[in-house]
Structures are given as C-alpha cells and as structure tokens.
Chains A and B, each alone.
Chain A
Amino acid sequence: MNIHAIRAIYGFEMARTWRTLLQSIVSPVISTSLYFVVFGSAIGSHMNGIDGVSYGAFIVPGLIMLSLLTQSISNASFGIYFPKFVGTIYEILSAPVSPLEIVAGYVGAAASKSIILGLIILVTARLFVPFQIEHPLWMLAFLLLTALTFSLFGFIIGIWADNFEKLQLVPLLIVTPLTFLGGSFYSIHMLPPFWQKITLFNPVVYLISGFRWSFYGVSDVSLGVSVGMTLVFLAACLALVWWIFRSGYRLKA
C-alpha cells in the first residue's frame, strides 16, 4: 500500500479546497442560509408541521443532503477532470499507485470536504430553526456514506467527461432535479399515490428519508431500506470505478 501517495493526493486536493475557500465553503453556506431564511423562517412559520415536525426543522436534513450531494459530485468530478484537462494526469498514471490508492486520495478528499461543509451547514441551520438530533451516530453514518457514495459518483463523471459542459451536465440535469423531487421540501406521502410509486425509483429519496429519520425518528421509507439502497448505489459506483481502471477507459490509450 502506497500510503505516501494517498497522503500526497489527499493533501493536494485539500490544499485546493483551502485555496478556494470562498467558492468551496462560503458560497454553499450562504445559499443554504438563504433557503432557511425563506423556507424555514419566513414561509415555514405560516405552514403546518409535517409528521409532527415544524416545517423549518423538517427541511433541515433535506437541505444538508442537497448540499452534500451536489458538493460531493462537483468536488470529486472537478478533482479528477482538471488533471486530465491540463495534462498533469501523466504523473498519476506513471506513478507506482494502484487504482484503489488513487480513488482513496481523490474521493477521500472530496468526501472530507463535503462532510465538513455538511457540518457547517448543520450548525448554520441551528441559528435559524430549532431542532434536535435523535440518533447522532446514525446521522454521522448517513453523512459519511452519502458523501463517499456521491464523491465516487462524481469521480466517475470526472473521468467520463471530456469537456466542461459534460462536467456540469449530470449535476445540473439529473442530480438537482432528483434532489428536489426526492423529498427535500416535503414528505413523499404528500404526493398523489401514482407519483409516490414513481418517486421510489429515485435513489435520493432513500438518502433523505434515512437522514431525516436520524434527526426526528420519522421517515418515508424504513431505515433498513434506506441504508440498503445507499449501499447498493455505493457498490454500483465501486464496480464502475473498478472497470474504469481495469480497461483504462478515458485514462489510457
């Protein structure tokens, strides 16, 4: 195991985070705060609670997930896309590192960054709406699992993308809609029965449901199903990464 290489890649990626502090940490915190001001405090105060939870508090887990997903994907995809774009990838490819070590470095850094961000947003949310966390360990577990899974997903997008447009395409056209339709702002029980069925094909539903359960003990789908579906998605991403390195897809001629 080339620990030095994992540390080098991880350190390099984290340095990039601190260098771009404004866009990597400050801007997502500000935009999420705006959600809390508008939906949590302003509109939320005129709405009934859902499942016995005030609306402002209800949307906290969903909003954290929203940031976690988009940030994990964008961190990891950019992290691997950029060396490909400028050509510095030659060094990674010619180094004595295994695919596992490369992934550990890049995905580890992307996930760390989005977990830090998620926790900052959590603290920020507390300034706007009161809430409690019933299962803090489960909360952290979901945070970790989601950050890891979607950083892997982002890594795959970064390797697949051969221009900047493609890099933006998947987050914009697929992930954002899935998150908004995944129950960030409502319980899926509020949907008509037909749409409730459709929604179950959306992987984000399971993440948000499980994450919200760790806060309030209420969920749209059972905890086991939530964890199971997240693990399935994680396994799918791992399999795809394994195939990418085995075949050299978009990495080696």
Chain B
Amino acid sequence: MPPIISVKQLSKTYASGFHALKQIDLDIRQGEIFALLGPNGAGKTTLISIICGIVNPSEGTVLADGHDVVRDYRSARAKIGLVPQELTTDAFETVWNTVSFSRGLFGRSANPAHIEKVLRDLSLWSKKDSRLMTLSGGMKRRVMIAKALSHEPQILFLDEPTAGVDVELRRDMWAMVRALRATGVTIILTTHYIDEAEEMADRIGVINKGELILVEDKAELMNKLGRKQLTLQLQNRLEDIPQALSGYPLELSADGQQLVYTFDAQSEHTGIDVLLRQLGEAGIDFKDLRTSQSSLEDIFVNLVRERA
C-alpha cells in the first residue's frame, strides 16, 4: 500500500534565516497513529503547517494520498483535518455554526446528521447553541477537534492536542483517537507528553533542530534502544565490587547497598543466570531484586542529548 503521506527532501528556511526543517524524508502509513516527538522549536509545527498548506515549503515535495499539497492543493487538503496547537476560535459564533462553517469551507454539502454525531462524540451536543466565548478552554479544544472532523477527513493532524488539558479530557481524546483509527483515519500527533506517544502511537518519529533523527515502530524502538537494568538489594553493605565480578557492567550505589547490572534485553544471552551464580559463589547475598526497562522518555532524552 502506498504511503498516505509522503514527504520528500522537505526544507524550510524562514525569512528571518531560521532553518526550521532540513531535508526531511518521511512516509506515513495509511491508518496508523504516528507520533512526532521533539523539543520546543524542533520543527514539528512547521512540518505540519507545510503539509496542511499554512506555510510554504522552501524545497521539497509533500504528497497527501498521492496529491501534491502545493500543485494539487484542492484534492490534498480536502482529505486533511487539522487541529492546531493554539486555541483560536470565533468568539461570537455558536458551536453548531462554527462546525458547520468548517464543513462548508472544506467543500462538503451540509450534513446535520454528521455534525450531530461529531458533537455528540465529543460531548459537545449540549453546548451546540452556546457561543464559543462562553466555553472553557477544554471545551474550546473539543470544538477545534469537531471543526477538523466536520468534513470527514482521512488524515487528521493533532498538534499538541493535550497541552493544558485536564486528565479526563485527555482520556476522552485518547479514546476518540483510537475510535477514529478504527474507522481507518490516519492520525499524526505531536506531543510533549512522551507517555502519550508511548500509550497511543504505532510509530514514533523524533525530530530535533529541524532534522528527523529517527522513525521507528514504537515497540521496536523501545526494544532496540531499551536497556534493562537488574537492581539487587544487598543483604550486607559492600565496599567494592569483588575482583571476580569485574567483567560485568556493574555499578555499586554510593551507600553500598545496591548493585545495578545493565543488560541488553534483546540479546540471546543476558548473562543474568551466570551473574547470579557468581554472586552466590562470591558470598554476596541479596534480599530483593527487580528489573526495569527504560521508558520512551529516557530514550528520547538520550537521543536528543546525544545530538545536542
């Protein structure tokens, strides 16, 4: 199946001379949830804005469902829904009118049944006649999602959808994103919350300083880069790591109560069994043990720091 979005050699230099994107190549697969991670100013929003037609690219091309987003913008944009980061709404409009407006703008004939469904799914139905300025921030965020879904897009961009959103709405949104994916919609989200990407995404891209450092299946990424640690709570305080164990990547905590062994969870031979046996032979007893896997957050921080 051809990618639903295909970004080729995409660069953006703003008038100020700021090099926001550097030759990005990226394919988004049909029907996946793709999370774009990166620190502030990494180029996430610029990338989304170019695909959606808000910012002009300096170089390179973007195809959305086979349509060039610049030359064939009409076909491309009709398939895309965008929820931008900023909460920008027409204060004096009602929820119903603003969502219906979006549908018309995207070239679809009126369909009150669809608008009603979108509003109900987002728990906005009771607010349909309220003016936007009377709504809370969370409700406005829902309205912006409703606007983006009003024309039944096949591709949905969510730029920091849960920034400044309470826990309940965040859960709702995750559920909504999963439900949309189940209907075949491709979702691209940017986020600062790494646990969100970990929770939601099928694939993850990390962008830093305008460069796409990595694109990987989430599970693979976590396996590949994920290092496991075995922590042993010692029975008796240890001054030094015994000579016999010097061949192992071991660390002794400052208080001498913990021994930490780092290993690669992917490898055929983790070495745990031999280590434990040797510990026993060396007369080191432990009262507890636990293993831990590094989270996406650790992976991300390491990646971004490495390149800094």
Contact = CB atoms under 8 A, between A and B. Distances in A.
B97 A15 contact: yes
Contacts of A9: 105
A88 B75 CA distance: 22
A19 B131 CA distance: 12
Interface stretch (B25-33, B47-55, B182-190, B255-263): B47-55
Interface string B77-101: 1101010101011111100010011
B233 interface: no
B55 A95 contact: no
B88 A94 contact: no
A9 B98 CA distance: 11
Contacts of A252: 54-56
Contact of B74 (A2, A15, A91, A253): A2
Interface string A84-115: 00111011111111100000000000000000
B73 A96 contact: yes
B53 A4 contact: no
Contacts of B74: 2, 96, 98
Contact of A90 (B75, B78, B82, B109): B82
Given A4-B107, A96-B77, A253-B15, A91 B56 contact: no
B88 A93 contact: no
B105 A5 contact: yes
Contacts of B78: 96
B170 to A, nearest CB: 23
A96 B75 contact: yes
Given A2-B74, A98-B74, A252-B55, A90 B84 contact: yes
B106 A96 contact: yes
Interface in A218-253: 248, 252-253
Interface residues of A, number: 26
B88 A95 contact: no
Q: Please tell me the size bucket of the interface on B.
A: 35 or more
A94 B97 contact: no
A205 B253 CA distance: 89
Given A4-B104, A5-B105, A96-B107, A19 B92 contact: yes
A11 B97 CA distance: 10
Given A86-B88, A96-B73, A96-B75, A91 B107 contact: no
B77 A12 contact: no
Contacts of B55: 252-253
Contacts of A8: 100-105
A16 B98 CA distance: 12
Nearest to A248: B56
A7 interface: yes
Contacts of B54: 90, 93-94, 252
Contacts of A4: 103-109
B147 interface: yes
A29 B253 CA distance: 84
A94 B104 contact: no
A79 to B, nearest CB: 12
Nearest to A83: B90
B77 A94 contact: yes
Contacts of B108: 4
B248 interface: no
B193 interface: no
Contacts of B86: 87
A95 B84 contact: no
A219 to B, nearest CB: 43
B90 A86 contact: yes
A2 B56 contact: no
Nearest to A93: B54
Given A93-B53, A96-B107, A253-B55, A12 B73 contact: no
Contacts of A248: 56
Interface string B223-259: 0000000000000000000000000000000000000
Contacts of B100: 8
A95 B82 CA distance: 10
A186 to B, nearest CB: 42
A93 B93 CA distance: 19
A12 B101 contact: yes
Given A19-B92, A88-B89, A253-B14, A94 B107 contact: no
Given A8-B104, A8-B105, 20 more contacts: A4-B106, A5-B107, A8-B100, A8-B101, A9-B105, A15-B97, A88-B88, A90-B82, A91-B105, A93-B53, A94-B53, A94-B54, A94-B80, A95-B106, A96-B75, A96-B106, A97-B107, A98-B74, A253-B14, A253-B15
The 8 A-B residue pairs with the shortest CB-CB distance, nearest first, are A8-B104, A87-B88, A96-B77, A94-B52, A96-B74, A2-B107, A96-B78, A4-B104
29 contacts: A4-B104, A4-B105, A4-B107, A7-B104, A11-B104, A12-B97, A15-B97, A19-B92, A86-B88, A86-B89, A86-B90, A86-B91, A90-B84, A90-B88, A91-B82, A91-B105, A92-B105, A93-B53, A93-B54, A94-B52, A94-B54, A94-B82, A95-B106, A95-B107, A96-B106, A252-B55, A252-B56, A253-B14, A253-B55
